[in-house]
Amino acid sequence: MRVFDFTNAIVREPGRSVVDGLREDRSATPDFDGIRGEHAGYVAALRAAGLDVDVLPPLEAFPDSVFVEDPAIVFPEGAILLRPGAPTRLGERVEMRGALKRHFSQVLELEGDEYADGGDVLVTPGLVIVGMSARTNRVGAQVLVKKLAELGRRATLAATPKTILHFKTAVSLLAEDTVLATQTMADTGIFGGFKIIVTPAGEEGAANALRINDTVLVGDRFPRTIDLLGRAGFPVVAVRVTEIGKLDAGLSCLSLRW
């Protein structure tokens, strides 16, 4: 079974508070109806790719809770409840715990003062890469590596370039031997064992693509990347994430997949 072969997913509907979510650029306010429509389109794309999707209700108290991949990561063997690096997101753990326990018999948890975001975790064949970033500190990454070992997963640490929010902001797995990455991430040398397709200049946001079964989801505002991947033989589905992108978010963080 390939690491991007999935049958199930968990998502959470955005609440109206989502427009107050964390973001670096405060000049562009996202539109709630736009986000809700884009989220519905995303869920439709997951289902079209063959996934059974568990849609959780919105959490108005947590504006960023639509990004379910940050407080947890999941595998067929079990789930790990994380400790998000943004203090305003810590409470999402409690809300996510019940959903995980409905689906998984084994749910491990990070505890203490360490913190780690799922957006910094890239699963590749045979190895999970945990990126250290502003949202995942070294202690959190080290504890996460141990938790992954409990699930039978081998993991390693990597440094996320300081200009990048999350490790997966700048890289995604396209095939078992191929990644899509920004030039900055490609230059780190982390992916020496992989073929690297570099995002065209000005379309760095496309690096957060999402491979699901035989489909690659890519933001529709990245036409050159879509063309590049199509010519490379990947079956691409364009997904609208314009308003969601204003929250420094992409495709992978909107769902938990196994």
For the entire predicted model, the pTM comes to 0.97
Residue that has been written with the tokens 């491979």 in this structure = 211
User: Tokens 């993991």 — which residue?
Assistant: 155
Return d(Cα 173, Cα 171) in angstroms, integer. Answer: 7
- Assess if residue 3 is contained within a domain: no
Q: What is the CATH number of the domain that holds 219?
A: 3.75.10.10
Q: What residues are labeled active site?
A: 166, 253
The residues, ordered by sequence, that sit 6+ positions from 185 with a Cβ below 8 Å of its Cβ are 161, 164, 170, 171, 191, 207
Report whether 16 contacts 61 (CB < 8 A): no
pLDDT in tens, the chain (258 residues): 999 999 999 999 999 999 999 998 887 889 999 999 999 999 999 999 999 999 999 999 999 999 999 999 999 999 999 999 999 999 999 999 999 999 999 999 999 889 999 999 999 999 999 999 999 999 999 999 999 999 999 999 999 999 999 999 999 999 999 999 999 999 999 999 999 999 999 999 999 999 999 999 999 999 999 999 999 999 999 999 999 999 999 999 999 999
Domain count, the chain: 1
Distance CA 206, CA 219 (A): 6
Q: Do the domain assignments include residue 106?
A: yes
Residue 2 lies in a domain: no
Query: Which tokens in the block code for residue 130?
Result: 């945990």
Is 115 in a helix, a strand, or coil? coil
**Containing structural domain, residue 249:** 8-257
Which residues in the chain belong to E strands, given as ranges? 8-12, 52-56, 72-75, 78-81, 107-109, 121-124, 127-132, 155-159, 171-175, 178-181, 195-198, 210-212, 215-219, 236-239, 256-257
Classify residue 22: in a domain, yes or no: yes
Helix, strand, or coil here: 74? strand
Q: Answer whether residue 28 is part of any domain.
A: yes
Q: Report yes or no on 45 lying in a domain.
A: yes
Answer yes or no: is 59 within a domain.
Answer: yes
